[in-house]
Structure formats: structure tokens, C-alpha cells
């Protein structure tokens, strides 16, 4: 009969072996994704007509970041005013959307040394969804817009990230150079199981925001979740490191870039730059010429200045990892 100490050793060894097997059976490796172009033409500079999907099997991690446009050093003045010329609606890009009323309010959910997090409830929103958002011990269920401000001693807080809990849209921007004031957003993106509901959305069940480190823990309505850690906020970039569970399915996009494009010089994004593999050379093509491509890294941006949201950032997806089976 085995002694108690021998039995404990056996159990520990069995547990270690099981853990080693699990590690060997499911591990992450660099991956590429399929980028699909669902853009449709428009003459209206205030319409999100650009839709670029990212899909791939088994994706578990990636990085998304907002980067200053490459021509920024040559821009002295920004152009941020809306342009409703050539638009066939009055004041909105989705005139057929429903409108659900809410009681408007602004609430400061966190105000610390490094971050201020603000929640806004709008007078109306196109979806009735109420998503619980928890920051610390506080939970609110009617927030339409979460705003993250970076704080530095002696300077005013600067907004670098916003997200919309009720439809799953995110926007990032680097901290602006001094001559650009508060800076401006451009393209937005979705992260999670992308679905159609009049327009592309990600349905979210709940959001839990942690402060140290600053991260968003998102549970999706259809199952699964994502952890999005704020890796950097600087004048160079604002970056999120994203992990997804369970791994993605090939048939459903796990992210989508949404933007506007009229012409190359009137667009929030007009070109794609990508690497087919981590070691391959960067390629660049204008947006209308792209149908699909395979990318280990892809940057959605502009190569010439735009007369619309001139200083708006490029958005880059990179560092894709996918779950693999077998021993590494």
C-alpha cells in the first residue's frame, strides 16, 4: 500500500504531466489573417462606406494600434469640420435608423493619477441595448460612450480611446502633437464576433474595466470573451493588446475596420499596407484595387494628405497568434 507522502507525489506528478500535455496540445504560433474588402462607393464624406473584414481560424491574440499618418510632419493646419456636401440626408449618415430615447447624462467613472474614464448617455441611440459597464465597484447599464483620457502632471487630460458598448465600436488616436489641439479620430473598428444588424455590430453582454493595468474585459452576448489591455498611449501610438477566447472561427470575422472613402484626398483611409508574412516586404495598394489579401500585419491608412480629418491616425492590426495542436 502506498504511503500518504508517496500518493501525494504521484498526484503532483500526474497533475504536472496533465498540465504539460495541455500546454503541448494547444499553443500559440504566429499567424496570418484574411482581409476582405466590402467597401461600396459614395460621394458623401460623412458616410461610413468602408468595411474591411479580418478573419481567420484559431486566432487568439493580436495587437491593434492607432499611428500618426506618415505625412504628419508636412501638415501645419488640421481640417476637422464635417462635410455634408454631396450627402442626400439631413445631419446623419444613417437616416433610416430607429431612434430610442434615453435620459442624457455624463458620469465620471474613474479619476486617478494616470486615467480619467467618463461615461456618456446620449439623448437617443440607434439601438435599445443596455450593456452593464463596471469600473471598480460601480456599475452602470445605460452608457453609450466610454471615454478614456490620459493624464500627465501639469497638462489637461487628453482623450485617446472611446468605445460604444451598445454596438461594439472602438476608436483610438495617439496623443496629438501640440499644434493639433485635442486631435481627431478617423476610422473606427469592431473587435469580436461581427454580425449584421442594419450595419456591422458586435453584441456585448457586459464590460468590466480594470485600472492597474488599464484593460477592458468584454463578454460577448453569443458567448466567449476578450481581454483588451491598453499597452501604450503616447504621441507615437495608442495600442491595445487583445486576447480572444475561444479561438476564432474562419467563417466569422473577428474584427472589422470601418471608415469613409470618397477619393484618395478625401478619405479617413485610402490605402492598405501589409506584410504577407512577418519577414516579407511591405506592400501598399490603394483601397479600390483591393478585394482580398492574406496578411501577417496590415495598416489601414493614407499615403497622401486628406482634406477631411487630415491628422486622423492610421489603424494597424499585427502580432496575430493562432492556437495550434501538437507539441511546439
- Tens of pLDDT, residue by residue over 117-172, are 999 999 999 999 999 999 999 999 999 999 999 998 888 999 999 999 999 999 99
Tell me whether residue 1 is in a domain: no
DSSP string, 242-293: EEEESPPPTTS-SEEEEE-EEETTEES--EEEEESSTTSPPEEEEGGG-SEE
Domain span at residue 207? Answer: 27-87+98-324
Give mean pLDDT, residues 195-214. Answer: 96
Q: What cell numbers appear for 190 in the block?
A: 469592431
Residue 19 pLDDT > 70, yes or no? no
- Tens of pLDDT, residue by residue over 180-201, are 889 999 999 999 999 999 999 9
* Those residues with Cβ within 8 angstroms of residue 94's Cβ, 6 or more apart along the chain or in another chain: 126, 198, 199
Tell me whether residue 19 is in a domain: no
Question: What's the rounded Cα separation, in Å, for the pair 275 and 278?
Answer: 6
Residue 327 pLDDT > 80, yes or no? no
Residue with cell 473587435: 191
C-alpha distances in angstroms, 257 versus 51, 135, 299?
Answer: 6, 27, 10
Q: Which residue has the higher pLDDT, 27 or 51?
A: 51
Tell me whether residue 267 is in a domain: yes
Plot region of 208 (φ>0 → left; ψ -120 to 50 → alpha; else → beta): beta
Mean pLDDT of the chain: 89
Determine the pLDDT at residue 180. 87
Determine the pLDDT at residue 16. 44
Question: What's the rounded Cα separation, in Å, for the pair 252 and 242?
Answer: 17
Residue 14 pLDDT > 50, yes or no? no
Tell me whether residue 22 is in a domain: no
Residue 326 binned pLDDT confidence (cut-offs 50, 70, 90)? low
Phi, psi of 135 (to 5 degrees): -125, 110
Question: What's the rounded Cα separation, in Å, for the pair 188 and 120?
Answer: 18
Question: What's the rounded Cα separation, in Å, for the pair 7 and 235?
Answer: 58
Half-sphere exposure of 243 (CA within 13 A, CB side): 8
Tell me whether residue 11 is in a domain: no
Phi, psi of 10 (to 5 degrees): -60, -45
> How many domains does the chain fold into?
1
Residue 26 binned pLDDT confidence (cut-offs 50, 70, 90)? low
Least reliable range by pLDDT among 30-39, 173-182, 227-236, 254-263: 173-182
- Tens of pLDDT, residue by residue over 237-262, are 999 999 999 999 999 999 999 999 99
Determine the pLDDT at residue 299. 98
Residue 218 pLDDT > 60, yes or no? yes
Tell me whether residue 275 is in a domain: yes
Residue with cell 494600434: 65
Residue 72 pLDDT > 50, yes or no? yes
Tell me whether residue 16 is in a domain: no
Determine the pLDDT at residue 96. 65
Determine the pLDDT at residue 23. 44
Q: Which residue has the higher pLDDT, 111 or 11?
A: 111
Give mean pLDDT, residues 293-318. Answer: 95
Encode 32-77 in three state secondary structure: CEEEEECCCCCCCCCCCCEEEEEECCCEEEEEEEEECCCCHHHCCC
Q: Which of 230, 178, 221 is nearest to 203 (CA)?
A: 221
DSSP at 78: -
Determine the pLDDT at residue 78. 83
Tell me whether residue 76 is in a domain: yes
pTM, two decimals, is 0.88
Q: Which residue has the higher pLDDT, 281 or 24?
A: 281
Residue 8 binned pLDDT confidence (cut-offs 50, 70, 90)? very low
Least reliable range by pLDDT among 13-22, 54-63, 168-177: 13-22
Amino acid at each position: 500500500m502506498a504511503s500518504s507522502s508517496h500518493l501525494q507525489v504521484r498526484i503532483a506528478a500526474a497533475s504536472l504531466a496533465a498540465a504539460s500535455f495541455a500546454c503541448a496540445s494547444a499553443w500559440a504560433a504566429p499567424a496570418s489573417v484574411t482581409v476582405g474588402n466590402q467597401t461600396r462607393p459614395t460621394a458623401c464624406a460623412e458616410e461610413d462606406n468602408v468595411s474591411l473584414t479580418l478573419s481567420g481560424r484559431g486566432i487568439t491574440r493580436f495587437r491593434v494600434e492607432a499611428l500618426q499618418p506618415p505625412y504628419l510632419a508636412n501638415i501645419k493646419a488640421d481640417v476637422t469640420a464635417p462635410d455634408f456636401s454631396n450627402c442626400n440626408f439631413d445631419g446623419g449618415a444613417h437616416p433610416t435608423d430607429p431612434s430610442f430615447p434615453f435620459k442624457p447624462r455624463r458620469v465620471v467613472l474613474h479619476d486617478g493619477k494616470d486615467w480619467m474614464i467618463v461615461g456618456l448617455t446620449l439623448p437617443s441611440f440607434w439601438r435599445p441595448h443596455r450593456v452593464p459597464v463596471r469600473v471598480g465597484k460601480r456599475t452602470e447599464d445605460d452608457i453609450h460612450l466610454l471615454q478614456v483620457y490620459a493624464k500627465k502632471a501639469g497638462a489637461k487630460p487628453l482623450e485617446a480611446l472611446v468605445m460604444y458598448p451598445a454596438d461594439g465600436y472602438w476608436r483610438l488616436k495617439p496623443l496629438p502633437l501640440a499644434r493639433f489641439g485635442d486631435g481627431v479620430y478617423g476610422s473606427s473598428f469592431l473587435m469580436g464576433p461581427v454580425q449584421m444588424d442594419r450595419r456591422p455590430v458586435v453584441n456585448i453582454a457586459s464590460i468590466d474595466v480594470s485600472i492597474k493595468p488599464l484593460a477592458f474585459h468584454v463578454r460577448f452576448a453569443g458567448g466567449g470573451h476578450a481581454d483588451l489591455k491598453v499597452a501604450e498611449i503616447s504621441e507615437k501610438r495608442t495600442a491595445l493588446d487583445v486576447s480572444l477566447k475561444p479561438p476564432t472561427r474562419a467563417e466569422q470575422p473577428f474584427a472589422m475596420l470601418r471608415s469613409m472613402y470618397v477619393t484618395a484626398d478625401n478619405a479617413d483611409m485610402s490605402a492598405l499596407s501589409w506584410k504577407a508574412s512577418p519577414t516579407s516586404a511591405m506592400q501598399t495598394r490603394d483601397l479600390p484595387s483591393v478585394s482580398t489579401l492574406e496578411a501577417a500585419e496590415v495598416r489601414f491608412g493614407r499615403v497622401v494628405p486628406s482634406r477631411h480629418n487630415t491628422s486622423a491616425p492610421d489603424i494597424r492590426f499585427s502580432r496575430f497568434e493562432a492556437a495550434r495542436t501538437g507539441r511546439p
